[in-house]
Amino acid sequence: MYDQPRANASQPAMTFDQMLERVRYEGAYPTRERAAEAVHQVLSALGRQLTGDERVDLAQVLPVEAALALTAQIPETEHLTGWGFVKDLAARAGVSPAVARWDTGAVLAVVTRLTGPDLLARILGQLPDDYALLFGQAQLRRPEPAAA
């Protein structure tokens, strides 16, 4: 048997610099430093919400610097709603909710591209329903359980 070269599945699809450029473009930020600040704050906030395999799998597709921001946080015991996520981010970053929502949209748009549809569906399945909009996805209602 011959060893075949294999792609390193743990290698992120983009570098941190490339991620910053994408976030800078999405958010129309004037500098890379402002984009880096948004990435760090949003991924830290997301790290407080995600647990389990979804957290690990997301960290694997992110550039190392971004993965460290995500995984450095201890997950909260209760999930915030999407709006609660934005308000918490605003309070921690010392910005208005509008700025926090803008930062969230810019960063999570890039995260969405990195995750792919299967991982994104798993992440959204773990979070409250209203997170889909934060990731730039259509807000679909989950079916109500049938009454017995």
pLDDT digit string, tens, across residues 71-104: 999 999 988 999 999 999 999 999 999 999 999 9
From 123, 122, 89, select the one nearest 105 (Cα to Cα): 89
Q: How many CB atoms lie within 10 A of CB 15?
A: 12
Collapsing DSSP to helix, strand or coil, 67 comes out as helix
CB-CB contact of 75 with 55 (8 Å): yes
Q: Is the pLDDT of residue 23 over 50?
A: yes
H or E element that contains 137 = none
Mean pLDDT (whole number) for 102-121: 95
- With a pLDDT cut of 90, the percent of the chain lying above it is 78
Q: Is the pLDDT of residue 6 over 50?
A: no
- What's the half-sphere exposure (Cβ side, CA atoms, 13 Å) at 145? 2
Q: How many CB atoms lie within 10 A of CB 112?
A: 18
- Mean pLDDT of all residues belonging to the chain: 88
Mean pLDDT (whole number) for 127-146: 77
pLDDT class for 13, splitting at 50, 70, 90? confident
Rama region for 128: left / alpha / beta (φ>0; ψ in -120 to 50; rest): beta
Q: Quick one: pLDDT at residue 146?
A: 57
